[in-house]
């Protein structure tokens, strides 16, 4: 707001309300009081009457009339002197302030003088004009001259006729008085839109509804320009008829100033209300003396609900001490920014930020003004970030794996506490060092180094190695993080100590090995035990097992299946333990009964082996190893696919081994004989695939 506009306007307003139609003494008294107060005068004097016949009607600060006379002759920068009325016909005015009167202030003084003239003039018109008209022609002329020379427009009108207009009135509207009197009506000087208003005002006075009135309207000048007018009008009886006598001043300038002030106030108000920030003022005790309307958006309170209350009333209890401290530090004259929590009208908690400046009067701080804004969202975000940071750091540090981040050039950017502990160091001592210096893993520059792989754009893979600096075995994984522009930002390395894991894996492997060895040893020993009873078949089981495995290999069976076949081969004749040794070693042909007895050995073996939990079908292979493809075998007479592969392989290996070894009832046959037998039985007795594989193995 302009510094000089407001006091000027308020003075204009005050002086424009000087009384009209009162006695000169009353006017002088009120004018003096207003002027003394408004201008802060030391001395004031008002004399009325024409030159040579003046009387002192009001004075202030003078000891006696002589001093007034001396004062009137003085001219100094802190004094104002004006004659009232043209040529001083109405009187003279003297005002003296305590400091030089500025340009703007002098204008207001002039306006005051003008208003004073208007009041004195109106007073005289009322008091004496009628009398003059009736009685004293001379005085009539004198007052007519007086009125005509006035700067204030004076008129006498009816609703449709102007009986009298002085020169000033003509000048205000751009006419010669003669162009107005008896030629135009008062409404011709009024803007069309305000004519109804003015006509109503005139009618009320002409019809006696109201004695006098004061109002404003838009006037219309001769050239069509619009001006703002203010009139004081009063109904009087003149030569037997009721007319309105009034004074009029052009307030266009004042209106314009008021408009500027109003616009500037409006702009300021809009500014204050539209900005997100809340503007406030508090006094030195912390009581809110002003707060701008946007506070309602923030806290739900209307400004009127907050003004007059201490601001600490709205502050969260945990922040109250700090808020009071803000006030105290503010009283020391510091400009400070603070953040604390406040309660809204609905009881919610919001974070606000305030910037406060002291308001100084003289050498004393009388309060603060500043801006306040809602920073809740920002605070919440900050808290979330802090929480995330804490969570991430504690996770990072408590995790059992060794985690560290390296820059694009291999320098350690961050390590977790586990890493530092394993390296018997502190995190801050490791940061900035080259990764290879710390871990001396011997991978720098090699294709195994994660950083190297990132540079070569190769995928990162986990690997295991012995970290010599740590004295442990590790399984390492790495992940690359890139900046938004695609540059390598850092590499995350996660190392897991697998020393224990590796030790137990090795122990487990050794244990498994031992277990295997003891199992096979047991199986073989068991087979030997059976064979001991029949020296002729000694080594038969091992021979069948080896040949069967060779056939299985030729057929492309898996390692696991081959192991199963080996064990089945070792144990396939284990059922012979139930057959009397006499029969087993009997030379020559066996009787039907003896043969039948021998034929029970697959089932006898099955009965023993089914109780043992093998990962292979050992019992079934034993049961079926005398079955034949055409169903001519025993004990079940199974055919083709009904016989498991293991049993079909054992059948072939058994026949070949048996034929090529000495038996009590016949000598060993040459391999060719055995192969002939196979070829003869291929497809009928033996699985053709097994036969083909066997032929390849033994020839």
**Residues near Fe ion (CB under 5 A):** 573
Say how far apart CA 329 and CA 635 lie, in whole Å. Answer: 108
Comparison of 186 and 605: residue with beta carbon closer to Fe ion: 605
Comparison of 118 and 626: residue with beta carbon closer to Fe ion: 626
Comparison of 71 and 605: residue with beta carbon closer to Fe ion: 605
CB of 648 to Fe ion, least distance (A): 14
CB of 523 to Fe ion, least distance (A): 16
Kindly provide the residue ranges of all beta strands, DSSP E only, lying in 111-185, ordered along the sequence: 153-157, 162-165
CB of 572 to Fe ion, least distance (A): 6
CB of 577 to Fe ion, least distance (A): 12
CB of 573 to Fe ion, least distance (A): 5
Comparison of 89 and 657: residue with beta carbon closer to Fe ion: 657
For residue 132, give both structure tokens: 């003059």
Q: Which helix (H) or strand (E) holds 73?
A: helix 65-73
Comparison of 412 and 549: residue with beta carbon closer to Fe ion: 549
CB of 684 to Fe ion, least distance (A): 19
For residue 441, give both structure tokens: 């893993």
Coil, helix or strand at residue 587: coil
CB of 659 to Fe ion, least distance (A): 13
The answer for residues whose C-beta is within 8 angstroms of residue 281's C-beta and 6 or more apart is 288, 289, 290, 291, 359, 367, 368, 369
User: What are the beta bridge partners of residue 180?
Assistant: none
Q: Report the first-to-last Cα separation within the chain, whole angstroms.
A: 119
Comparison of 250 and 573: residue with beta carbon closer to Fe ion: 573
CB of 540 to Fe ion, least distance (A): 9
CB-facing half-sphere around the CA of 517: CA atoms within 13 A: 6
Say how far apart CA 681 and CA 688 lie, in whole Å. Answer: 9
Say how far apart CA 361 and CA 308 lie, in whole Å. Answer: 20
CB of 616 to Fe ion, least distance (A): 18
CB of 506 to Fe ion, least distance (A): 41
Say how far apart CA 306 and CA 300 lie, in whole Å. Answer: 11
Task: Decide: 82 and 113 in contact? Cβ < 8 Å.
Answer: yes
Per DSSP, helices labelled H in 557-664 are 559-571, 581-585, 592-598, 601-609, 618-624, 645-659
CB of 654 to Fe ion, least distance (A): 6
Q: DSSP state, 129?
A: I
CB of 625 to Fe ion, least distance (A): 6
Q: Is 670 exposed, middle or buried (0-12, 13-18, 19+ CB in 10 A)?
A: exposed
Taking each helix axis from N to C end, the angle separating 645-659 and 671-681, rounded to the nearest 10 degrees, works out to 140
Comparison of 121 and 530: residue with beta carbon closer to Fe ion: 530
CB of 626 to Fe ion, least distance (A): 6
Comparison of 166 and 541: residue with beta carbon closer to Fe ion: 541
CB of 453 to Fe ion, least distance (A): 60
For residue 44, give both structure tokens: 């004031």
Pick the closest to residue 402 from 472, 489, 501 (CA basis). 472
Comparison of 71 and 569: residue with beta carbon closer to Fe ion: 569
The answer for residues whose C-beta is within 8 angstroms of residue 694's C-beta and 6 or more apart is 547, 551, 554, 652, 653, 656, 678
Comparison of 255 and 663: residue with beta carbon closer to Fe ion: 663
Comparison of 167 and 573: residue with beta carbon closer to Fe ion: 573
Comparison of 374 and 531: residue with beta carbon closer to Fe ion: 531
User: What are the beta bridge partners of residue 371?
Assistant: 279, 355
Comparison of 251 and 653: residue with beta carbon closer to Fe ion: 653
Query: How many other β-carbons are positioned within 10 Å of the β-carbon of residue 89?
Result: 19
Say how far apart CA 46 and CA 55 lie, in whole Å. Answer: 8
Say how far apart CA 5 and CA 12 lie, in whole Å. Answer: 10
Q: Is 261 exposed, middle or buried (0-12, 13-18, 19+ CB in 10 A)?
A: middle
Per DSSP, helices labelled H in 275-338 are 295-299, 303-306, 317-331
Pairing state between β 463-467 and 288-291: unpaired
Say how far apart CA 688 and CA 411 lie, in whole Å. Answer: 68
Nearest residue by C-beta to Fe ion? 573
Comparison of 287 and 583: residue with beta carbon closer to Fe ion: 583
């Amino acid at each position: 707001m302009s510094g000089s506009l407001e006091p000027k306007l308020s003075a204009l307003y005050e002086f424009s309300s000087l009384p009209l139609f009162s006695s000169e003494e009353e006017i002088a008294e009120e004018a003096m009081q207003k002027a003394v107060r408004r201008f802060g005068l030391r001395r004031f004097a008002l004399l009325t009457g024409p030159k040579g016949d003046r009387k002192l009607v009001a004075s202030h600060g003078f000891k006696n009339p002589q001093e007034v006379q001396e004062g009137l002759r003085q001219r100094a920068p802190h004094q104002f002197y004006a004659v009232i009325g043209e040529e001083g016909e109405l009187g003279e005015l003297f005002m003296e302030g305590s400091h030089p009167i500025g340009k703007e202030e002098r204008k207001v003084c002039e306006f005051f003088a003008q208003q004073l003239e208007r009041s004195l003039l109106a007073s005289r018109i009322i008091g004496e004009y009628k009398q003059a008209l009736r009685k004293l022609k001379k005085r009539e002329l004198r007052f007519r001259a007086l009125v005509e020379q006035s700067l204030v427009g004076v008129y006498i009108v009816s609703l449709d006729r102007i009986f009298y207009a002085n020169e000033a009135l003509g000048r205000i509207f751009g006419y010669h008085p003669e162009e107005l009197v008896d030629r135009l009506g008062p409404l011709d000087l009024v803007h069309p839109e305000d004519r109804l208003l003015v006509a109503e005002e005139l009618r009320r006075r002409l019809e006696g509804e109201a004695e006098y009135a004061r109002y404003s309207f838009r006037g219309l000048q001769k050239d069509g320009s619009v001006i703002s007018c203010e009139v004081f009008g009063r109904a009087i009886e003149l030569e037997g008829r009721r007319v309105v006598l009034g004074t009029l001043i052009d307030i266009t300038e004042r209106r314009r100033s008021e408009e500027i002030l109003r616009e500037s106030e409006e702009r300021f108000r809009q500014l204050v209300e539209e900005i997100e920030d809340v503007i406030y003022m508090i006094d030195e005790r912390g009581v809110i003396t002003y707060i701008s309307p946007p506070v309602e958006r923030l806290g739900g309170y209307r400004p009127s609900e907050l003004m007059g209350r201490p601001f600490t009333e709205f502050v969260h209890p945990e922040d109250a001490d700090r808020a009071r401290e803000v006030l105290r530090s503010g009283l020391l004259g510091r400009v400070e920014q603070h953040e604390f929590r406040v309660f809204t009208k609905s009881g919610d908690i919001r974070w606000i930020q305030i910037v406060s400046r002291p308001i100084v009067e003289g050498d004393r701080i009388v309060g603060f003004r500043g801006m306040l804004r809602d920073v809740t969202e920002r605070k919440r975000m900050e808290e979330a970030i802090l929480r995330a940071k804490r969570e991430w750091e504690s996770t990072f540090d408590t995790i059992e794996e060794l985690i560290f981040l390296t820059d694009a050039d291999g320098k350690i950017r961050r390590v977790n506490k586990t890493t530092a502990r394993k390296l018997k160091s502190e995190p801050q001592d490791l940061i900035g060092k080259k990764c290879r210096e710390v871990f001396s893993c011997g991978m720098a520059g090699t294709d195994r180094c994660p950083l190297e792989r990132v540079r070569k754009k190769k995928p990162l893979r986990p690997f295991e190695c012995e970290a010599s600096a740590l004295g442990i075995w590790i399984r390492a994984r790495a992940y690359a993080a890139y900046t938004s522009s695609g540059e390598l930002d850092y590499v995350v390395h996660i190392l897991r100590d697998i020393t224990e894991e590796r030790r137990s894996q090795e122990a487990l492997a050794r244990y498994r090995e031992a277990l295997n060895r003891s199992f096979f040893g047991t199986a073989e020993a068991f087979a030997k035990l059976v064979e001991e009873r029949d020296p002729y078949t000694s080594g038969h089981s091992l021979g069948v097992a080896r040949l069967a495995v060779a056939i299985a290999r030729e057929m492309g069976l898996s390692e696991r299946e081959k192991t199963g076949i080996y064990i089945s081969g070792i144990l396939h004749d284990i059922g012979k333990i139930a057959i009397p040794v006499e029969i087993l070693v009997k030379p020559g042909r066996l009787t039907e009964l003896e043969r039948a007895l021998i034929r029970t050995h697959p089932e006898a073996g099955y009965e023993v082996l089914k109780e043992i939990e093998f990962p292979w079908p050992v019992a079934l292979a034993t049961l079926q190893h005398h079955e034949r493809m055409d169903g001519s075998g025993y004990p079940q007479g199974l055919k083709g696919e009904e016989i498991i592969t293991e049993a079909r392989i054992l059948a072939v290996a058994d026949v070949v081994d048996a034929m090529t070894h000495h038996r009590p009832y016949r000598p060993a046959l040459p391999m060719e004989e055995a192969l002939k037998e196979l070829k003869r039985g291929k497809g009928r007795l033996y699985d053709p695939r097994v036969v083909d594989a066997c032929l390849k193995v033994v020839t």
